[in-house]
Amino acid sequence: MPPFLMRMLLWLRHPPSRNQRIAIAVICGIGIGFAAVEWLVGWPEWLTPERVLRGPRLTAP
């Protein structure tokens, strides 16, 4: 059985506490919030990585 199904079965048999559910909801909300801001506003230019050119590659003979 895949590990994620085992985890789901464990949570079904022994649900997490109220504080854990709140923490999971807050983390999911933060992630959805970041995704919504990125979707609405776009990715900032200063966070876009640029390829750094390196010197010539040396190969062994």
**What pLDDT is stored for residue 54 in this prediction?**
76
Interacting residues of 16 by C-beta distance below 8 A, sequence separation 6+? 24
**What pLDDT is stored for residue 61 in this prediction?**
67
**What pLDDT is stored for residue 57 in this prediction?**
72
Query: Using CA atoms, how far apart are residues 50 and 2, in angstroms rounded to an integer?
Result: 39
pLDDT, one tens digit for every residue, the chain (61 residues): 789 899 889 989 999 899 999 999 999 999 999 999 989 998 888 888 887 777 677 777 6
**What pLDDT is stored for residue 19 in this prediction?**
97
- Domain ranges in the chain are 3-40
**What pLDDT is stored for residue 31 in this prediction?**
96
* Token couple for 24: 């999971």
The predicted model scores a pTM of 0.58
Query: Using CA atoms, how far apart are residues 43 and 12, in angstroms rounded to an integer?
Result: 38
> Residue written as tokens 């995704």?
35
H helices within 1-61, ranges in order? 3-13, 18-41
